């Protein structure tokens, strides 16, 4: 079982305490019952120790608990997501539980009416019972996480990739995907760029090359120029073009520079289209040869 957002997913015993602090700011992942419930004895030990050292002085107790609010809220959010509920419910319940200590401090100062105090405590009891039931529920998100993990493993096995090759491929293709999406956004921001891409077919070619590489990762080295030179250079050129085009400056020199940049972008776009055309030609030849 793998959770990409929580490397400690499924830990127990002493490891649960370590996971509590290493994931103190992790509100995105999942946490199993073992990770959550093996933590509770350590928190109970903290409660007993702090009570023995501090006694009934509420303000020092509040100060100590302030350090635990964020990690406790985070693990509760992960546990609720793991059982298929909104993590915001767990966050709200945890904040409500910790605010009860502040209410007790205010009550010690005589600032809270008895009706409010007893009503609040009744809600706290109901909330804690609900939290107990929810955190004891089994994992509901495991199928999604396992499916993702299995899909990656199956892709790696199908294409005979080593761990390092798969890592490099995923990083490279993630960057390429973002760059292609950026080109699409740039085309939406500039009619001139949209026209260039439509005329040359450069954006469409980049999208098709991406699909080709996803289907055949071992040809990535053959398209190194596209991935590491042509595509990033085109994105940068388009970004500069948009900056110049939208600048509130109009004179002969600026217009000439914009025209020159447009010509350069057109050439870059054509080069990518030609790169894709070569792939199509090669695939067609293979079909004729082996057909």
What mean pLDDT do residues 240-246 have? 90
Same domain for 165 and 107: no
Query: Taking a C-beta distance cutoff of 8 angstroms, is the pair 261, 240 a contact?
Result: yes
pLDDT in tens, 58-75: 777 777 778 888 999 999
In the chain, the percentage of residues whose pLDDT exceeds 70 is 89
Residue 63 located in a structural domain: yes
Same domain for 282 and 183: yes
197 Cβ contact list (under 8 Å, min separation 6): 183, 187, 203, 204, 269
Q: For all residues of the chain together, what is the average pLDDT?
A: 85
Chain CA centroid to CA 246, Å: 32
In this predicted structure, the answer to whether residue 132 has a pLDDT above a threshold of 80 is yes
Same domain for 279 and 165: yes
**pLDDT score, position 148:** 61
In this predicted structure, the answer to whether residue 287 has a pLDDT above a threshold of 50 is no
Same domain for 265 and 193: yes
**pLDDT score, position 152:** 75
Q: Which of 113, 142, 171 corresponds to the end of one domain?
A: 142
In this predicted structure, the answer to whether residue 240 has a pLDDT above a threshold of 90 is yes
Other Cβ atoms within 10 Å of 240 Cβ, number: 15
**pLDDT score, position 176:** 94
Q: Which residue has the higher pLDDT, 47 or 236?
A: 236
Same domain for 126 and 175: no
What mean pLDDT do residues 228-247 have? 92
Query: Where is average pLDDT lowest: 25-34, 47-56, 84-93, 264-273?
Result: 47-56
User: CA–CA separation, 74 vs 127, rounded Å?
Assistant: 17
**pLDDT score, position 15:** 85
- Residue 255 pLDDT grade (very low, low, confident, very high; cuts 50, 70, 90): confident
Q: Which of 78, 110, 142 corresponds to the end of one domain?
A: 142
In this predicted structure, the answer to whether residue 215 has a pLDDT above a threshold of 80 is yes
**pLDDT score, position 3:** 62
In the chain, the percentage of residues whose pLDDT exceeds 90 is 41
Same domain for 241 and 127: no
- Residue 155 pLDDT grade (very low, low, confident, very high; cuts 50, 70, 90): confident
- Residue 237 pLDDT grade (very low, low, confident, very high; cuts 50, 70, 90): very high
Same domain for 175 and 98: no
pLDDT in tens, 71-117: 999 999 999 999 989 999 999 988 888 888 777 776 766 666 777 77
**pLDDT score, position 239:** 94
- Residue 47 pLDDT grade (very low, low, confident, very high; cuts 50, 70, 90): confident
Residue 194 located in a structural domain: yes
pTM of full prediction above 0.75: no
Residue 149 located in a structural domain: no
**pLDDT score, position 124:** 85
Please count the structural domains in the chain: 2
Residue 125 located in a structural domain: yes
**pLDDT score, position 225:** 92
What mean pLDDT do residues 161-185 have? 91
What mean pLDDT do residues 177-186 have? 94
Q: Which of 116, 142, 168 corresponds to the end of one domain?
A: 142
Same domain for 199 and 135: no
Same domain for 280 and 178: yes
Same domain for 275 and 164: yes
Residue 148 located in a structural domain: no
User: CA–CA separation, 163 vs 218, rounded Å?
Assistant: 14
Same domain for 87 and 55: yes
Residue 49 located in a structural domain: yes
User: CA–CA separation, 273 vs 124, rounded Å?
Assistant: 64
User: Domain limits at 120?
Assistant: 14-142
In this predicted structure, the answer to whether residue 52 has a pLDDT above a threshold of 80 is yes
Residue 4 located in a structural domain: no
Residue 2 located in a structural domain: no
Same domain for 113 and 230: no
**pLDDT score, position 2:** 55
**pLDDT score, position 201:** 94
């Amino acid at each position: 079982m793998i959770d990409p957002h929580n490397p400690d997913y499924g830990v127990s015993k002493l490891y649960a305490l370590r996971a509590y602090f290493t994931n103190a700011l992790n509100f995105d992942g999942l946490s199993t019952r073992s990770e959550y419930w093996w933590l509770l004895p350590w928190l109970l030990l903290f409660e007993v120790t702090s009570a023995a050292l501090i006694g009934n002085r509420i303000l020092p107790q509040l100060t100590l608990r302030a350090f635990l609010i964020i990690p406790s809220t985070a693990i509760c959010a992960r546990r609720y997501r793991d059982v298929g509920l909104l993590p915001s419910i767990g966050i709200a319940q945890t904040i409500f539980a910790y605010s009860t200590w502040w209410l007790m401090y205010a009550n010690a100062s005589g600032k809270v009416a008895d009706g409010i105090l007893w009503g609040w405590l009744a809600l706290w009891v109901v909330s804690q019972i609900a939290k107990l039931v929810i955190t004891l529920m089994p994992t509901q998100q495991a199928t999604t996480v396992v499916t993702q993990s299995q899909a990656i493993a199956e892709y790696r096995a199908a294409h005979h990739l080593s761990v390092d090759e798969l890592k490099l491929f995923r990083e490279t293709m993630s960057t390429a995907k973002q760059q292609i999406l950026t080109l699409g956004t740039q085309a939406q921001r500039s009619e001139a760029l949209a026209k260039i891409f439509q005329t040359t077919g450069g954006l469409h070619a980049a999208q098709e090359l991406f699909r080709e590489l996803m289907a055949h990762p071992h040809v990535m080295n053959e398209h190194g120029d596209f991935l590491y030179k042509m595509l990033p250079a085109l994105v940068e050129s388009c970004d500069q073009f948009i900056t110049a085009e939208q600048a509130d400056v109009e004179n002969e020199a600026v217009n000439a520079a914009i025209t020159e940049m447009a010509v350069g972008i057109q050439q870059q776009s054509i080069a990518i289209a030609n790169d894709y055309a070569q792939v199509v030609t090669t695939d067609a030849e293979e079909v004729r040869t082996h057909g």
